[in-house]
Amino acid sequence: MRTSTREYGYARVSTKNQNEDRQLTVLREQGIPEEFIFVDKISGKNFVRPEYQLLKRVLREGDTLFVKSINRFGRNKQEILKEWQWLMDAKIHVVVIDIPILDTRKYQEMDGINQLIMDLVLQLLSWLAEEERNDIKQAQAEGIAEARKKGKHLGRPQINLQTLTPGQRGILDANYSRWQSNELSGVDFMRELELKKNTFYKVMKEYENKAR
């Protein structure tokens, strides 16, 4: 059982395609060791996030949690306030780097007015984080609706014989006859091509038709 307190960092981006490097740089500048920085690539609509939940299990009374900004912490006002209260009840300090007043290490030295200001700032920023998320969702919905009006295909790119990569096409050409003669199982062939079952058989049919 450890006896000293620790400083942890938490970073979050909404998707795997987004880059968390800026957040990580800011957290490292606080002197937080790499092994104490937790990163999620998931929506901020709630706190059901694998890395954050792991972080909660290792946090102890007196520890300090650093986040770059409130919207990296979360995007739902009620969820943010509930989680913040959980941290306060667990006697864990929270530091929002972009907003110096949101540093709960100052609570003990603050008078009632400054604590009230901190609470109001937290309420306001939580609301803004949620509004920003709502604006993003609305813009996405409007973009999708406009694309549908123009007849554009939405969702994941369709995979077919023509869209296979050169590497996939080479594997297909080299192994098709082996698959046909049962030297290579369909499961292994799918794995080699990195295709799902339905897509695999669709591509095989296109390949056969082209060979005729």
Encode 5-27 in three state secondary structure.
Answer: CCEEEEEEECCCCCCCHHHHHHH
Distance of CA 159 to CAs 198, 199, 200, Å?
10, 7, 9
Q: How far apart are CA 121 and CA 106, in angstroms?
A: 15
34 domain-assigned: yes
Q: Would you state the pLDDT for residue 150?
A: 64
One domain for residues 50 and 93: yes
Q: Would you state the pLDDT for residue 115?
A: 67
The CATH number given to whatever domain includes residue 28 is 3.40.50.1390
Domain that holds residue 170: 161-211
62 domain-assigned: yes
One domain for residues 84 and 180: no
Strand partners, 96: 67
Number of domains in the chain: 2
Number of Cβ atoms within 10 Å of the Cβ of 108: 6
| Low-confidence stretches of the chain (pLDDT beneath 70) | 1, 108-117, 125, 128-129, 131, 133-157, 211-212
